[in-house]
Structure 1
Amino acid sequence: MNSSIKLNALSSREKIISAIKRLSEKYCSLNFMEVCGTHTMEIYRAGIPSLISGNIKLISGPGCPVCVTSENYVDMAISYLNEGYNILTFGDMFRVPGSKGSLETEGSGKVKIIYSPDEALEFAEENCDKKIILLAVGFETTAPLFASILKEIRNRKITNLYLLCSLKLIPPAIEYLLSSGEVKIDGFLLPGHVSAIIGTKQFQKICRQYKIPGVVSGFEPQDILESIFMLLLILEKKEEYLKIQYARVVKEEGNPLALKEIEDVFEMTDADWRGIGSLKNSGLKIRKEFQDYDIQVVHPIRVKSQPINPQCKCGEVLKGIISPRDCPLFGKLCSPQTPQGPCMVSSEGACAAIYKYGRE
């Protein structure tokens, strides 16, 4: 198939799949990595690996925010519980294991799952006698949300609500994967939600530096298939290294208002990634102007995390070195009912996605 074929000519899924297979015939093998938990779940829910060429392997990277949250962070949250604090958290963090248990096992009724920022603010105002910590976990997508919460805490003069911050940045993690050489990557399906906030310039710089294709993808099966096709076109033409498939949402400059919100409240810092370690300037910390609400400043504590189960291969899964199926615990000791690592806990984790949709 001629590589000049246009996407608008590939109106059906069957045509795109056929084009992918023909363009990939010349390659012995290609590894395309997605770096977004929503992509991971949708890829396996839609059965995309079985639809495209056997020459193309889709591998999952560190795109699940809960999964890359370090054991030390979970242990620290548990330590604050033991110091008399109540913990508020969104979703999956409740069951994520640290080296000393999880919030679920150690919470003793002092952990509350919330679904909106207003719940955190209201809970704090209604419980003035309690010391409360909100777990701030996520990537660039959720950073504006936590920034707005901090501003509201200050505006409402709430004095009993603090943040324990573990916000991370995707571009440094991608650069780490490419520079480490631990896994062969031939192209990236880049996260649409993150790109909607930060734009594409950082990704473009990385793709050019390492001469590796990247496509900012939407989240429908059609979006993902189109993005795979676009990666193949970039490989063939070797011209522009970055394309935006998700152009209906993502702009090159990102979202200036959201970026301003982040800049007002946070600044870059080194951050620990589960399975990777510390990466320079890969996280966000609360600026001095808002440090009255930073629990690590107001009440600093140190924890010493214990070694995790050496059989749990979540770290290797997050780096794309192995598939979840290659972990000796997968589907045996480790399942959504008895998760041994965060990749099985989170609904966006690679292990959970393959367990639910992609088991053989």
Structure 2
Amino acid sequence: MRYVEEFRDPKAAKGLLAAIDRVVDEIGATAENPVYIMEICGGHTHAIFRYGLDKLTPAGVEFIHGPGCPVCVLPMARVDECVELAEQEDVIFTTFGDAMRVPGTKKSLLQAKADGADIRMVYSPLDALELARRNPEREVIFFGLGFETTTPSTALSIQQAAREGLTNFTVFCNHITVPPPIKALLDDPHMVLDGFVGPGHVSMVIGTHPYDFIADDYGKPIVVAGFEPLDLLQSVLMVLEQIRDGRAVVENQYARVVPEHGNPVSLAAIEDVYEKRPSFAWRGLGEIDESGLRIREKYAAFDAEAKFGIGYGAEVERSVEEPEGCACSQVMTGRIKPTGCPQFGLGCTPEMPLGALMVSSEGACAAYYQYGGGRAAVEAAE
């Protein structure tokens, strides 16, 4: 695979691992007193386990899996609202595939589809726009979900719908931003974090400066990383070198993709279409100020919350409790590993997920199950 093999070279990986070993020894980190590095992005979590980086790196490095999976951090109340929208008459509800099986308090979107709701999986909000064009008598709702990576495509689709004058296309906006939950984790007195591996795809849109507060205000190093094994190993080494040298800055390992100041076209679309919500609920983290986006008043005709009187605009009390025995919130905040959840591999599997972390392709529990041997590995360790 051209342009990929060079980032998976075993010889180069051995060199990076040897360098990591040396720096860990210089820091004095051990299995009993490790350096805690959080990889923010769920894509990084899967890469770490897919390539066995957690086993190749020394015992003095402990990976903490962050809240970087937008499907996983969505509270059950928002899934319930998706189902409520999808089950309305003359609605075509469109969503990315990862969100189909996330459980709500009563059912998932997949179960609602089985019950007769017209729910369709799409690969882009542009697919939803096309459905709206072809079905002018139906209301087409797109489930806008994701971090800054997917936010621009939804914004551009809303702008296009406005230009065309479509009256049957709306977005149920659940777009969220990365920096606020990192701040919430750093403010948590129970969290022990020494450094961060920053998300590559998000940073491709927003650049590196939104993370300055991590270094400036909290004195923690962060390195924006790519997704290949050598990217991650080099990023871990860069974090460790900062810790050894007593530095805390934002570094960009993924400079071949991530510009310092982000993508100006994407940022302009985001600024035009969205504004920050006063607060937004995150699974495992609770309400976080200005962490979610909502559609501006100028585009209110394309806002499903405004059009259908649902969500944060509706004065309705909705349950946000986790399923009994589910430890998603503890895994999400790095307090326990997925294998520490009593439901892991028993009541919660990829085929029959209890929590969102097992549903999503970027969920930490799904990564552990897929690459760690599932429940059998837990029982063998016990």
| TM class, shorter-length | over 0.9
* Residue correspondence of structure 1 range 188-203 to structure 2 within 5 A: 188-203=196-211
User: How big is the shift at 1:241?
Assistant: 2.1
Residue aligning to 2:326:
312
Question: Which residue of 2 is the match for residue 69 of structure 1?
Answer: 74
Task: Supply the distance in 2 between the matched residues of 1:81 and 1:260 (Cα, whole angstroms).
Answer: 31
Aligned to 1:253: 261
Q: SS of the residue aligned with 1:44?
A: helix
Question: Aligned partners of 2:359, 2:346: CA distance in 1, in Å?
Answer: 15
C-alpha distance in structure 2 between counterparts of 1:111 and 1:275, whole Å: 27
Residues paired across the two proteins, number: 351
Matching of residue 161 in structure 1 with residue 169 in structure 2 = yes
Amino acid at match of 1:277: G
Q: d(CA) in 2 for partners of 1:358 and 1:21?
A: 23
Tell me the equivalent position of 2:5.
none
Q: Is the 8 A contact 1:47 1:358 kept in 2?
A: no
Partners of 1:59 and 1:323 lie apart in 2 by: 8
Query: 2:306 — aligned with what?
Result: 297
5+ long unaligned stretches in structure 2: 1-9, 311-315, 378-382
SS of the residue aligned with 2:173?
A: strand
Q: Does 1:272 align with 2:300?
A: no
Tell me how far apart the structure 2 counterparts of residues 111 and 170 of structure 1 sit (CA, whole Å): 28
Structure 1: gaps of 5 or more residues: 1-9
What letter corresponds to residue 100 of structure 2 in structure 1? F
Counterpart of 1:3? none
2:348 to 323, 331, 334: 334
**Closer, same or farther: CA 195–11 of 1 in aligned 2, 3 Å:** farther
Distance in 1 (CA, whole Å) between partners of 2:258 and 2:102 is 31
1:175-208 CA distances to partner (integer Å, 9 max, x unpaired)?
0000012221111000011111111112122222
Corresponding residue of 1:147: 155
Find the counterpart in structure 2 of residue 91 from structure 1.
97
CA distance in 2, matches of 1:240, 1:330: 36
The equivalent residue for 2:3 is none
CA deviation after TM superposition for structure 1 residue 109, in Å: 4.2
TM-score (norm 2): 0.89
Quote the residue 2:234 is aligned against.
226
Q: Structure 1: which 4+ aligned runs deviate by more than 3 Å?
A: none
Checking the alignment, whether the CA contact within 8 Å between 1:76 and 1:303 is kept in structure 2 is no
Query: Once the two structures are superposed, what CA deviation does each residue of 1:321-351 show, in whole Å capped at 9, x if it has no partner?
Result: 1110000000111110000011000000000
CA contact (8 A) 1:88 1:120 kept: yes
* One-letter amino acid of the structure 2 residue matched with residue 102 of structure 1: S
Give the letter aligned to residue 333 of structure 1: G
8 Å CA contact 2:323–2:355 kept in 1: the answer is no
8 A Cα contact 1:192 1:218, kept in partner: yes
- 2:26 is equivalent to residue 18 of structure 1: no
Structure 1 position 253, deviation (Å): 1.0
Once the 2 structures are TM-superposed, how far is the Cα of residue 130 of structure 1 from its aligned partner?
1.3
Report the alpha carbon displacement of residue 281 of structure 1 after superposing the two structures with TM: 0.5
Shift of 1:116: 2.5
In the alignment, what sits opposite 2:217?
209
Identical counterparts, % of pairs: 40
In structure 1, which of residues 47, 53, 57 is the aligned counterpart of residue 58 of structure 2? 53
Show the counterpart of 2:4: none
| Deviates further, 118-127 or 87-96 | 118-127
Q: Counterpart of 1:92 in structure 2: which amino acid?
A: D
Alpha-carbon distance, 1:305 to partner = 2.4
1:106 aligns with 2:112: yes
Is the contact made by 1:173 and 1:282 (CA closer than 8 Å) also made in structure 2?
Answer: yes
Matches within 5 A, 1:345-360: 345-359=359-373, 360=377
| Superposition deviation, residue 231 in structure 1 | 0.6
State the partner residue of 2:297.
288
Q: Using the alignment, how far apart are the partners of 2:248 and 2:39 within structure 1?
A: 19
Question: Can you list the C-alpha shifts for 1:27-52, whole angstroms capped at 9, x where unaligned?
Answer: 12111111111111111000000000
Stretch of structure 1 that moved more, 336-345 or 111-120: 111-120
The offset of 1:303, in angstroms, is 5.9
Deviation at 1:306, TM superposition (A): 5.9
The letter for the 2-side match of 1:87 is: F
Give the corresponding residue for 2:179: 171
* Distance in 1, Cα, partners of 2:329 & 2:149: 23
The 3 A distance-change label for structure 1 pair 11 and 198 is farther
- Give the aligned residue type for 2:256: R
C-alpha distance in structure 2 between counterparts of 1:293 and 1:116, whole Å:
16
- Residue 5 of structure 1 is matched in structure 2 by none
Give the aligned CA root-mean-square deviation in angstroms: 1.4
Deviations 1:217-265 (A, max 9, x none): 0110000000000011000112342211111111221111111110010
Task: Give SS of 1:152's match.
Answer: helix
